[in-house]
Amino acid sequence: MKFESLREQVSNKSQIHSVQMLRGIACLAVYFVHFFSEQKLLSASKLLVKASEYGYLGVQVFFVISGFIIPLSMYRNKYDIQNFGNLFKRRLVRIELPYVASIALLVLLKLITHFVYEASQRLDIDWSTVLLNIGYLNVFWGKEFINHAYWTLFVELQFYLYIGLFLGLITNKNFWIRHVAYLLLFGLNYWWVGSLFFHSHILIFMVGIFAFQYVIKVIELPELLISSAFVLILNYYWLSQILHLDTAIPITLATIFAISFIFFIKKQISVLDFLGKISFSLYLIHVPVTVALLPILEPYIHRPSLILVYRIGVLISTIGIAYIYYRIIEKPAMSLSRKV
């Protein structure tokens, strides 16, 4: 049975390639919404532009992945609440070091772009905002993220800390004990709503958590299906009826796609596997690198079809730079985090 094959991978401590490939897909989707959804490209490829407008769903896919893989990683490493301090330190090294390095890269590229293309204009860098982005302090000072991809890292950090505190509850085989942890979060939505706070996305994370509970045999297939259907319906109602958003259906379908991909895709596709491996680096740097590369030739290109070709070339170049970033920044941070 295909559901059982994922359990076997987890019990054998095998790498789950479906998760890694899904990361690659999600990261590409986010990239496309940032740089291929512009109206001026419509005449070159209507299908690509229309499809890229849904690239924001890559973020929802990342939330499903995190709901599954973060508690699974802790469970595999026999995490205990007494290790919470070490868990937080490892997170700082593994995630926050590459994040801070990407802020430095963003500032460097902005300076280079300014002096090459905009030397006659005033340098547009708010240094206080840059510094507050370190540690996500900008959220509490009412400052913006200098890279609009960063907000999801703040959400993911909150979820990481939540799992560190409540892993014992969500892995408990007692139905009522597990659901206490869920209800505490659901209740927060009535008083504290905001896209920068992870409980506003908890119903998406929950689908991943249910998959995690299934593969470690805390729940069985009927509860997995019923619980996932329930939170999807609840999330649809929350988005469409309470928040009055028109994204309810796409988000629901993206969530179903993500969890289905994790369970049912077994064939390893090398390109997607590679993109998944460097997905965090690509996610961190794709905006500043692409913004720096586009002005090199695009202002001199007037045909939409050639602009599209150029942007694809920039995408490939950005992937190459992300690989270098992965090798010199992210991979050493991964190794260092294991020693903390």
Q: Where are the domains of the chain?
A: 2-339
Task: Please count the other Cβ atoms lying within 10 Å of the Cβ belonging to residue 22.
Answer: 27
Q: What is the DSSP string of 17-85?
A: HHHHHHHHHHHHHHHHHHHS--GGGTTT-HHHHHHHTTTTHHHHHHHHHHHHHHHHHHHHTT--GGGHH
Mean model confidence pLDDT for the chain? 90
What pTM does this model have? 0.93
Tokens representing 148 are: 């609009």
Q: Provide the residue count of the chain.
A: 340
pLDDT of residue 228: 96
Query: Quick one: which of 213, 140, 146, 205 has its CA closest to 174?
Result: 213
Kindly report, residue by residue over 169-194, the tens digit of the pLDDT: 999 999 988 888 787 767 665 555 56
> What pLDDT band is residue 136 in, cutting at 50, 70 and 90?
very high
Kindly report, residue by residue over 64-90, the tens digit of the pLDDT: 999 999 999 999 888 888 888 888 898
Query: 97: helix, coil or strand?
Result: helix
- Rg of the chain's alpha carbons, rounded to an integer? 21
pLDDT of residue 65: 97
Of the listed ranges 5-19, 92-106, 262-276, the least confidently predicted one is 5-19
Kindly report, residue by residue over 310-335, the tens digit of the pLDDT: 999 999 999 999 999 999 999 999 99
> What pLDDT band is residue 202 in, cutting at 50, 70 and 90?
confident
Instruction: Name the percent of the chain lying above pLDDT 90.
Output: 63
Q: Are the CB atoms for 329 and 103 separated by under 8 Å? A: no
User: Tokens 């240094």 identify what position?
Assistant: 127
Q: Cα 7 vs. chain centroid, distance in angstroms?
A: 24
